[in-house]
A and B are shown apart, each in its own frame.
Chain A
Amino acid sequence: MVLEMNGIRKSFGSLEVLKNISMQVDSGEVVSIIGPSGSGKSTLLRCATFLETIDSGEIFYTDKPAVTTNEAGKAVYVKAAELNKLKQKFGLVFQQFNLFPHYSVLKNIVDAPLHVEKRPKDEVYAEAMELLKKMDLENRAKAYPCQLSGGQQQRVAIARALAMKPDILFFDEPTSALDPELTGEVLKVIRRLAEEKMTMVVVTHEMPFARAVSNRVIFMDQGVIVEQGDPELVFGAPQQERTKQFLRNYQQ
């Protein structure tokens, strides 16, 4: 198991956005999370990547605890040093790309492996060029993010995350900030990663993509997992009324 989340609860003030969510992701699995805005799917991803702290519940990466719950029912995070080690296990691709604008494409990719992981220079640069090739961007290595299209920027962001060699890669609505024309090139890259058995969790509104690429689909609404399973079943024969309604609205 790459990721295990048990009984996650998270409130913003009096608003409970995650109500006892559990999710496991196996190695090589591609999980899509769908649902209406405000359903808590992005918050779930932000909790998994420690950008938000959970109120209670447990999080494990490759069976190593990151968060446990004490007797009082409060979440307890492991020590900062321990948590930083666990951070190396995942990567996150943002909706808004969040590339570093003052770094070239290549520097965006190599900087963290060089200065956070302190890996050898030759190796890091060679791998970065390899990644850029994979993203069809090898001729844009020297460009700056502002010179790239949104789709290109997002592919650089994916390369930047992959350069850290994560065990699992999270995508937070990776195509929502893109023109419809540009979503295809990003989805193609994610699809290729799925073929290579990269473990991924994708929060998305691209239903046909979720159906085609994922091994499992999770439908969330109002902070709970309403339904999950094989994409053909969730999309083809949803069991819950709420799921049917959501998919019906989506198709209109």
Chain B
Amino acid sequence: MSLYTMLSTMADGMLKTCAIFFLTVLFSMPLGMIVMLLRRSKIKPVQWIVKIYIAVMRGTPLMLQLLAWYFGPYYLFGWSIRGYRFTAIILGFTMNYAAYFAEIYRGGIESIPNGQYEAAEVLGYSKIQTFFKIILPQVIKTILPSVTNEVITLVKDTSLAFALAYSEVFALAKQIAASQTSFTPYVVAGVFYFIANYVVAFVMERIEKAFNYYK
């Protein structure tokens, strides 16, 4: 197999990896916001449920969670899981990362001094204005480094989708490496992840710099 055919075969896997990555970011970041709000709810049972959810998401391997999301419906309800693979992957990643993002957001919100809320209240800002104009911009600045970390981890975690036999770049690399008895596909996959994370780090650094105009 020439390097060219290998690359073009793996290119499809790279696209699939990117799809998992972007869809997970797209869904898990806003979902994390909702989870965080529920986690801070004044209704105790809601708090408990969210706490249990976060504990399970953080306390069990993501690979196991992916298997549960994919095979669970069949074993529990006898549902057909044909054509459900990609949905299960996105569900698994989104639910897992939302838990982590929720905790990052919570840390950010709780780091804002109470005086900021009080100053806004005395000046007559509404609750919504206070959150979006005063609190949120400060929260974003404080959580950016942790979010960068999490997003970089996600790039590498996408490889866990191979557990559901989804042909993203890592699964393909394994396949080709086995059939061609060659190490090259792993090198290609490694370079791909590295470059992807380099881009992520570069973009996040830019965003962090944009918030550097104040301390």
Contacts and interface: CB of A to CB of B under 8 A. Distances in A.
Contacts of A98: 113, 115-116, 118-119
Contacts of B214: 101-102, 144-146
A94 B118 contact: yes
A155 interface: no
A114 B115 CA distance: 21
A201 interface: no
Interface stretch (B59-67, B74-82, B130-138, B144-152): B130-138
Contacts of A88: 124
Interface string A96-118: 10111110000000011001110
Interface in A120-153: 144-146
Size class of the contact patch on chain B:
20 to 34
Contacts of B120: 100
A116 B141 contact: no
Interface residues of A, number: 27
A164 B121 CA distance: 13
A176 interface: no
A94 B205 CA distance: 35
A87 B122 contact: yes
B125 A101 contact: no
A161 B124 CA distance: 11
Contacts of B119: 94, 98-100
Contacts of A96: 113, 115
B4 interface: no
Given A101-B214, A111-B133, A144-B214, A164 B116 contact: no
Nearest to B136: A102
A51 B121 contact: yes
B124 A116 contact: yes
A141 B171 CA distance: 57
Contacts of A50: 121
A160 B123 contact: yes
Interface of A: 49-51, 84, 87-88, 90-92, 94, 96, 98-102, 111-112, 115-117, 144-146, 160-161, 164
